[in-house]
Amino acid sequence: MAQDENRKQRLEASVIKSLQKRLPLLFEDRKIELSEVIDYVKNNSDATKLGQALKDSEDLLNTNYRLMQLEDVEISGHAKESIMNIVHADISRLNKRKFEQMVLEDNINGIFKNPSLWLRESFLPLDNIIGQ
């Protein structure tokens, strides 16, 4: 286990070092727009796989950015209002019996090896926080 963790840490350090070398603008202390990254890659890219992959993926990167960015969300006013109402509403407590019933009704019980154990490990600590 310790050896695997050490290997993971070395790999992460190697990836960060590589990114710092090839895309130093990602490590500047300011907000960076996707267009800046794309322009930088076009103007400064070497013949590495990373550089070529970024050049080849410009359309996909732009599409994913538009889908994932949160500054100017493209949803209806009604959807925004519904989201805000959910965010500001009281958090309901876990109803274990109802959850297990819905799992069976939706026929997704095969996803969990042990739904009760999964619920206990995943949601009981959160439910306890809500109850405080």
DSSP the chain: -HHHHHHHHHHHHHHHHHHHHH-GGGGSSS---HHHHHHHHHHH--SSHHHHHHHHTHHHHHHHHHHH--SS----HHHHHHHHHHHHSPPPPP-HHHHHHHHHHTT-GGG-S-HHHHHHHHTHHHHHHHH-
pLDDT confidence tier of residue 43, bands split at 50, 70 and 90:
confident
pLDDT tens-place string over residues 81-131: 998 999 999 888 888 889 888 888 988 878 878 878 888 888 888 888 887
Decide: pTM greater than 0.85: no
The pLDDT of residue 1 is 63
Q: What is the pLDDT of residues 5-42, one digit of tens each?
A: 888 888 888 888 988 888 899 899 999 988 998 888 88
